[in-house]
């Protein structure tokens, strides 16, 4: 049930929540001046431009302009609504939110997301029922047991069965009076081509509900019982399901991941279930996609930034491909990964079934880092003849060059040099060549480039002062400084700040959360994040400077009018006079 959250509770949450705390769970932040810097979770980058201000409780990415306060961060990161973000924070900080039933108006506002989650839950019940009760479910249950899945795992993971037939689920939802549009949004049904009505996406399949870390069902996977194709089918992207940000099993794995600071990553549903069943609960599966930076960032929230990631693959070639792909991903996430390649003919599921947990854990203990693994594979493939070494170097130079961390890279260069008995400098030279070719597309470092735009420098300083030293706001208001502004964008930002003067929160943070305009957000963030130190004297000096500059502008304008009159240019005179009038009006606060 959706709840209404009273204003004072929102304030409690604002006071309790720390944006650096919350963001650190998903982004590694490093102190930089008075702010924190990290790699943006909302776009792909190699040079950090994601900035978090602890003092102002805001974040801003100078690369993609994402920004806001702690609520906006959660809303964007988790794809949730404001009340959901508020509830999430309240839970985290132990703030009690009274449950009130919704008014009809609020009911209408219940987000699509919540409706889809409710539909997913109903569907899970339907699939469970079909697996446990129907006669047709019997075959499915037998199949699961035959694959070594215990009844406990079936229950823990709420496995289900989508029965044979085209519209069992569609009919179930229409009996439940769920609106067609919403059911369609859940991706569980597909509109029939050329006629009305819907048919079920999942038919005759074992169903794996996919949970998010708050235990909500966000999507489904389905596997056939025979050899028909496609073997696996997943929910499409929906308002609640984004596969590059979802990991199967994370809801069951997170505690153990935290404890062990290690996570095993496998590719399939059954592999994941096998690991859990064998007591290796700190494991997750990617769902029909390769590992993404978002995945890693989620995991890092549980294993910590120095935690261990172990990728489990069923063959050298799959491992090599994944290792090569993962380097860039890992490098972005500052996490090193190890790779296990299982003996030929085995996947994690069959390996554990045949050999059990201990040999698997031994493999994990001996598993090598991604680069060492690639070196091994290259040596195995090419041999250590002179020819072979040349091939090895050319295989490994690209992954080595992809490593951003200088220390890590030089360690691996050394390892490769020793392994194939080649001079370290020669290896380094190869890597440099690759880096030089790449360097043209290296992201430009975070810069407050907006500040380099023209615009009025003093007006920007005034806004910076207002954002960073809110004590001065009454002074700005009383003197009507904003009326003297020529830059309308800055002026409107200033007016918004003044409006927030008496609000309970930090003006900059409130502002970032409500300003939609990208350019304005960029200006605000650039100004807030600057390493300025303000005190009252400094502020008053700036105000005086600003006022006298306006006065100088007046004099300049008068001179221009006189010149135009001398030149006998009545059109220009008229234009300048209008400008003068406007200035006078502004100064008299008529505008
Ligand atoms: Zn960004």
pTM, two decimals, is: 0.60
Task: Using the mean position of ligand 1's atoms as its centre, give its distance from the Cα of residue 45 in Å.
Answer: 8
CA–CA gap between residue 584 and residue 310 (Å, rounded): 70
Task: Using the mean position of ligand 1's atoms as its centre, give its distance from the Cα of residue 113 in Å.
Answer: 24
Task: Using the mean position of ligand 1's atoms as its centre, give its distance from the Cα of residue 479 in Å.
Answer: 38
Q: Residue 65's pLDDT is what?
A: 86
Give the number of other CB atoms < 10 A from CB of residue 301.
18
Task: Using the mean position of ligand 1's atoms as its centre, give its distance from the Cα of residue 212 in Å.
Answer: 23
Task: Using the mean position of ligand 1's atoms as its centre, give its distance from the Cα of residue 379 in Å.
Answer: 39
Task: Using the mean position of ligand 1's atoms as its centre, give its distance from the Cα of residue 68 in Å.
Answer: 12
Cα-to-chain-centroid distance, residue 450: 24
Q: What three-state secondary structure class fits 58?
A: strand
Q: Let me know: does 189 contact 203? Beta carbons within 8 Å.
A: no
Task: Using the mean position of ligand 1's atoms as its centre, give its distance from the Cα of residue 80 in Å.
Answer: 18
Task: Using the mean position of ligand 1's atoms as its centre, give its distance from the Cα of residue 44 in Å.
Answer: 7
Please list all protein residues whose beta carbon sits less than 5 angstroms from ligand 1, which is an ion: 40, 42-43, 61, 63-64
Task: Using the mean position of ligand 1's atoms as its centre, give its distance from the Cα of residue 331 in Å.
Answer: 17
Q: Residue 447's pLDDT is what?
A: 35
Task: Using the mean position of ligand 1's atoms as its centre, give its distance from the Cα of residue 218 in Å.
Answer: 25
Question: If you search the block for the tokens 């009340």, which residue do you land on?
Answer: 83
Task: Using the mean position of ligand 1's atoms as its centre, give its distance from the Cα of residue 434 in Å.
Answer: 26
Q: Residue 1's pLDDT is what?
A: 43
Question: If you search the block for the tokens 């500040």, which residue do you land on?
Answer: 451
Q: What three-state secondary structure class fits 418?
A: helix
Task: Using the mean position of ligand 1's atoms as its centre, give its distance from the Cα of residue 409 in Å.
Answer: 26
Strand pairing class (262-266; 232-234):
unpaired
Length of the chain: 591
Task: Using the mean position of ligand 1's atoms as its centre, give its distance from the Cα of residue 39 in Å.
Answer: 8
Q: Residue 529's pLDDT is what?
A: 82
Q: Let me know: does 156 contact 199? Beta carbons within 8 Å.
A: no
Give me the DSSP letters along 266-292. ESSHHHHHHHHHTT--SEEE--SS---
Task: Using the mean position of ligand 1's atoms as its centre, give its distance from the Cα of residue 76 in Å.
Answer: 12
Residue 558 contacts by C-beta under 8 Å, 6 or more apart in sequence? 580
Task: Using the mean position of ligand 1's atoms as its centre, give its distance from the Cα of residue 511 in Å.
Answer: 19
Q: Residue 3's pLDDT is what?
A: 52
Task: Using the mean position of ligand 1's atoms as its centre, give its distance from the Cα of residue 49 in Å.
Answer: 7
Task: Using the mean position of ligand 1's atoms as its centre, give its distance from the Cα of residue 189 in Å.
Answer: 34
- Phi, then psi, of 371 in degrees rounded to 5: -70, -45
Q: Let me know: does 451 contact 464? Beta carbons within 8 Å.
A: no
- Eight-class DSSP state of 248: B
Task: Using the mean position of ligand 1's atoms as its centre, give its distance from the Cα of residue 437 in Å.
Answer: 25
| Maximum separation of any 2 CA atoms in the chain, in Å | 101
Task: Using the mean position of ligand 1's atoms as its centre, give its distance from the Cα of residue 362 in Å.
Answer: 40
Task: Using the mean position of ligand 1's atoms as its centre, give its distance from the Cα of residue 48 in Å.
Answer: 9
Mean pLDDT by groups of 10 residues along the chain of 591 residues? 69 86 86 88 84 90 89 87 85 76 54 86 96 89 93 95 95 93 94 91 96 88 91 90 89 88 91 94 86 78 80 78 73 67 88 93 90 88 91 88 80 91 90 71 36 64 88 88 88 90 77 84 84 82 85 78 84 82 63 40
Q: Residue 456's pLDDT is what?
A: 77
Task: Using the mean position of ligand 1's atoms as its centre, give its distance from the Cα of residue 60 in Å.
Answer: 8
Q: Residue 587's pLDDT is what?
A: 60
Task: Using the mean position of ligand 1's atoms as its centre, give its distance from the Cα of residue 530 in Å.
Answer: 18
Q: Residue 452's pLDDT is what?
A: 39
Task: Using the mean position of ligand 1's atoms as its centre, give its distance from the Cα of residue 66 in Å.
Answer: 6
């Amino acid at each position: 049930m959706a709840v209404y959250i009273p204003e004072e509770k929102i304030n409690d949450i604002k006071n309790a929540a720390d944006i650096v705390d919350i963001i650190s769970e998903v982004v590694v932040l490093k102190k930089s001046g008075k702010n924190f810097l990290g790699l943006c979770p909302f776009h792909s980058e190699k040079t950090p431009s994601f900035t978090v201000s602890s003092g102002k409780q805001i974040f801003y990415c100078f690369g993609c302009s994402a920004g806001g306060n702690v609520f906006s961060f959660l809303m964007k990161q988790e794809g949730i609504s404001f009340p959901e973000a508020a509830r999430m924070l309240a839970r985290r900080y132990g703030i009690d939110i009274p449950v009130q039933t919704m008014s009809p108006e609020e009911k209408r506002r219940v987000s699509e997301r919540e409706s889809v989650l409710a539909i997913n839950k109903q569907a899970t019940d339907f699939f469970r029922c079909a697996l446990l009760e129907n006669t047709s479910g019997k075959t499915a249950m037998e199949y699961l047991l035959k694959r070594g899945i215990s009844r406990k795992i079936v229950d823990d993971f709420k496995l289900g069965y989508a029965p044979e037939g085209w519209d069992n689920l569609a009919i179930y939802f229409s009996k439940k009076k769920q609106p067609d549009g919403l059911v369609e949004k859940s991706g569980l049904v597909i509109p029939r081509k050329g006629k009305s009505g819907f048919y079920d996406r999942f038919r005759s399949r074992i169903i794996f509900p996919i949970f998010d870390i708050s235990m909500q069902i966000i999507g489904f996977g389905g596997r056939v019982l025979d050899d028909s194709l496609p073997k696996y089918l997943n929910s499409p992207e929906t308002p609640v399901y984004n596969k590059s940000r979802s990991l199967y099993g994370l809801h069951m794995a997170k505690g153990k991941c935290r404890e062990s600071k290690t996570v095993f990553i496998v590719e399939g549903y059954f592999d994941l279930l096998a690991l859990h069943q064998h007591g290796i609960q700190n494991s997750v599966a990617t769902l029909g996609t390769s590992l993404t930076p978002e995945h890693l960032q989620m995991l890092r929230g549980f294993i910590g930034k120095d935690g261990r990631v172990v990728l489990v693959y069923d063959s050298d070639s799959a491992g090599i491909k994944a290792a090569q792909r993962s380097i860039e991903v890992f490098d972005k996430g500052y996490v090193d990964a190890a790779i296990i390649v299982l003996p030929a003919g085995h996947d994690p599921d069959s390996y554990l079934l045949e050999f059990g947990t201990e040999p698997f854990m031994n493999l994990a203990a001996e598993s090598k880092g991604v680069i060492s693994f690639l070196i091994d594979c290259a040596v195995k493939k090419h041999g250590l003849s002179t020819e072979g070494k040349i091939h090895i170097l050319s295989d490994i130079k690209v992954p080595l060059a992809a490593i951003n961390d200088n220390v890590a890279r030089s360690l691996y260069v050394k390892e490769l040099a020793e392994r194939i008995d080649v001079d370290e400098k020669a290896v380094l030279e190869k890597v440099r060549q690759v880096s030089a070719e790449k360097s043209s597309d290296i992201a430009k470092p975070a810069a407050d480039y907006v500040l380099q735009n023209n615009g009025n420098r003093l007006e920007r300083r005034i806004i910076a002062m207002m954002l960073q030293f809110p004590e001065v706001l009454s002074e700005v208001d009383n003197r009507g400084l904003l009326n003297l502004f020529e830059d309308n964008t800055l002026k409107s930002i200033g007016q918004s700040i003044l409006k927030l003067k008496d609000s309970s929160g930090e003006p900059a943070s409130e502002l970032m959360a409500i300003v939609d305009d990208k350019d304005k957000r960029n200006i605000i963030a650039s100004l807030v994040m600057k390493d300025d130190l303000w005190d009252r004297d400094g502020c008053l000096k700036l105000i005086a400077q600003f006022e006298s500059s306006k006065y100088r502008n007046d004099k300049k304008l008068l001179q221009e009018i006189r010149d135009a009159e001398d030149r006998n240019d009545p059109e220009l005179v008229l234009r300048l006079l209008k400008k003068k009038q406007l200035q006078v009006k502004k100064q008299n606060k008529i505008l």
